[in-house]
Amino acid sequence: RLICGPNTIDVEITPIWKLLIKEVLNPFYIFQLFSVCLWFSEDYKEYAFAIIIMSITSIALTVYDLREQSVKLHHLVESHNSITVSVCGRRAGIQELESRFLVPGDLLILTGNKVQMPCDAILIDGSCVVDEGMLTGESIPVTKTPLPKMESSMPWKTQSEADYKRHVLFCGTEVIQAKGACSGTVRAVVLQTGFNTAKGDLVRSILYPKPMNFKLYRDAIRFLLCLVGTATIGMIYTLCVYVLNGEPPEEVVKKALDVITIAVPPALPAALTTGIIYAQKRLKKRGIFCISPQRINVCGQLNLVCFDKTGTLTRDGLDLWGAVPCDRSGFQEVHSFVSGRSLPWGPLCAAMASCHSLILLDGTIQGDPLDLKMFEATTWVRSCSADDLRSFFNARATQ
């Protein structure tokens, strides 16, 4: 426990003073401060006061939004740290333990349904039905099977190859059904804790996103460099003209610096911040977090979004029209399910009724939509009760 640390995902709420300093030290606002001081020295107060009010308002709104989203993210992750689990010890037996004290190697006992996984664990006994919607976005329950017992010194992930994920219960997912083998217990060994888990990786990617290197920012820097270059040329020209005309040195410096404030508009950051804040408000109404507001400007360039999943823009369900049985290396006539005729018993019917990953959860069959449609077409019934199976076969025999 001293080596691995507590099994917690602590998201620090950023203090207001840190957010304020980070925002105020923006180069644009520093340039605004320089411009305002120059205008006050020239007794140009009205526009200077307007810029000050706009800047203070935009800074305050930005800090408020960032603080609010930081607090919401903290509360969203905080529930992970207050879960009670059953742990099997070598000497103490099964005991209740807070999830924050879990370490890799602990043996978890999964009892009952609707269990929130507080860590990454590998299933060694029993089977589980897990909702991984928090990680993958898929609403279809996933069946987890125990790690096969192999007489080998190779790592378990190497043995399982690409299918290793079907043995792992990921942190943040919900175990909606746990079923032991031969009326035994469902056991899992803790693999990763804290920020090393799948949920920890997700939270870390939100807190520390990859730096952007988009064409928009490269073009923006080039544009600003062009403005600075233009301002430098104008400043040199102004210096030459005023010096040749014999103007006082103070007046020459002020007029030369005025050229810079004209070439690079001081109200630009306030205008950009106002647009970003308005966009954040619209995202907030949709329940979307944004802790990196500068990415909103990049998203403003998008004019086409492609979705790669059926069900995002198309309908979720599938309808089974028919099946083509195969016998003696040849296809038979198409059996249409639209007519309402049941599929006669045979290899095809047996495969459709048994080769699937459907589960019975609270009396309702759940699983992949295509598997569900195929199973429904067979008119068979899935049940875990011997009495239900007996009554079903009796009913089939009397037909």
Could you tell me what percentage of the chain is helix, strand and coil, using 3-state DSSP and rounding each to the nearest 5?
50, 15, 35
179: in domain: yes
Q: Is 308 a catalytic residue?
A: yes
314: in domain: no
Residues 73 and 91 in one domain: no
End position of a domain, from candidates 160, 176, 199:
199
Residues 295 and 277 in one domain: yes
Domain count, the chain: 4
288: in domain: yes
99-119 residue pLDDT tens: 788 888 888 888 766 778 888
End position of a domain, from candidates 199, 227, 245:
199
Distance separating alpha carbons of residues 391 and 51, to the nearest angstrom: 81
Residues 190 and 117 in one domain: yes
**pTM (whole model) above 0.85:** no
7-64 residue pLDDT tens: 788 878 888 888 888 878 877 778 788 888 888 888 888 888 888 888 888 888 878 8
Nearest to 175 by CA among 162, 184, 163, 188: 188
User: Any residues with CB less than 8 A from the CB of 16 and at least 6 apart, and which?
Assistant: 63, 67
Residues 102 and 152 in one domain: yes
Distance separating alpha carbons of residues 76 and 358, to the nearest angstrom: 31
Residues 65 and 15 in one domain: yes
Residue 229: domain span: 212-264
* DSSP 3-state of 315: coil
pLDDT given at position 151: 61
316: in domain: no
Question: Could you say which of 308, 319, 368, 387 is catalytic?
Answer: 308
Residue 101's CATH number? 2.70.150.10
Q: Determine whether 155 is exposed, middle or buried from the number of CB atoms within 10 Å of its CB (0-12, 13-18, 19+).
A: exposed
315: in domain: no
Positive/negative CA dihedral, 24, 257, 254, 55: negative
Residues 170 and 219 in one domain: no
Residues 122 and 184 in one domain: yes
Residues 11 and 62 in one domain: yes
Residues 360 and 338 in one domain: yes
347: in domain: yes
pLDDT given at position 288: 78
117: in domain: yes
CB 285 within 8 A of CB 267: no
pLDDT given at position 387: 54
End position of a domain, from candidates 173, 199, 225:
199
The token duo for 162 is: 């690409």
Residues 89 and 195 in one domain: yes
pLDDT given at position 174: 82
Distance separating alpha carbons of residues 183 and 279, to the nearest angstrom: 55
pLDDT given at position 356: 78
Residues 277 and 246 in one domain: no
Residues 219 and 257 in one domain: yes
Distance separating alpha carbons of residues 12 and 78, to the nearest angstrom: 10
pLDDT given at position 92: 67
Q: What is the pLDDT along the chain (399 residues), one digit of tens a residue?
A: 677 777 788 878 888 888 888 878 877 778 788 888 888 888 888 888 888 888 888 888 878 878 887 888 787 777 666 677 777 766 667 777 777 888 888 888 887 667 788 888 888 888 888 877 777 766 677 888 888 776 655 555 555 555 677 888 888 888 887 777 766 788 888 888 888 888 888 888 877 777 666 666 677 678 778 877 888 888 888 888 888 888 788 877 888 888 877 777 777 767 777 788 788 888 878 877 776 777 787 777 788 887 765 555 566 566 778 888 887 777 878 877 777 777 778 788 888 888 877 777 667 777 777 778 888 888 787 776 555 545 545 554 444
* Token pair 């005991």: residue: 95
206: in domain: no
